[in-house]
Amino acid sequence: MLNNWVVMPTCLPLVLRRCHACASGTFRANGKFRVNANHKLLDAWLLALCTTCGETTKLTVLERAHVRSIRPGLLDRMHDNDPGLAAELLQDPALRRRNRIALDWTGAWRLDTGEPAEPAAVTDVEVIEVSVRFAARIPVRPLRLIAEGCGLSRAEAERLLTEGNLVSAARLSGKLSGGFTFLLKR
């Protein structure tokens, strides 16, 4: 029995950066952009609001880029304040490194198992093979996903791992942000 699970983002993650006004450490990106033109050079920023005081911070997307070097579709999406573009840009490691930010995905994702999780139905099956795919690079603990998807407690999932009844080629301790498969034996 092969199941396919998908880890889906539900909203934009929190941006971890210090606020200069209130010393809070989190900002919420809402998908708004600011584009500034200086003759033939463009600057573009993704705007984020402090979760405590509402102060705005600008995350640099483009800096002194020549107008002709920018794809017209990208510029149109920035002018339209496309939230999908904001999600794509927050996934970009170069943008995060340039702006010295990190992301907090707590409460910003969900596990789609394709069917309602029924603990009774899971216990009836001897062996479950599951392929987990990530719709975005969301760092999640695999044991937490397995426990949530199979209707188990995290302690029970850890016990199954130590007993050898939970097997995967990927390391199940720590965090993963890429797809993996696992086999659960009952």
pLDDT given for residue 173 in this prediction: 83
pLDDT given for residue 151 in this prediction: 87
Residues paired with 42 in a beta bridge: 37, 65
pTM given for the model? 0.77
Q: Measuring CA to CA, which residue among 125, 121, 112 is closest to residue 165?
A: 125
Task: Say yes or no to pLDDT of 155 above 80.
Answer: yes
pLDDT given for residue 69 in this prediction: 92
pLDDT given for residue 116 in this prediction: 53
Q: What is the mean pLDDT of the chain?
A: 88
Buried/exposed code over 137-175 (b: 16+ C-beta within 10 A; e: otherwise): ebebebbebbbbbbbbeeeebbebbeeeebebeeebeee
pLDDT given for residue 50 in this prediction: 95
Residues paired with 161 in a beta bridge: none
Q: Measuring CA to CA, which residue among 5, 23, 28 is closest to residue 108?
A: 28
SS3 148: helix
Q: Residue 3: pLDDT band by 50, 70, 90 thresholds?
A: confident
pLDDT given for residue 120 in this prediction: 45
Q: What is the per-residue pLDDT across 72-129, written as a single tens digit (0 to 9) for each?
A: 899 999 999 998 999 999 999 999 999 999 999 998 899 988 765 454 444 555 888 8
- C-alpha 107/C-alpha 147 separation (Å) is 17
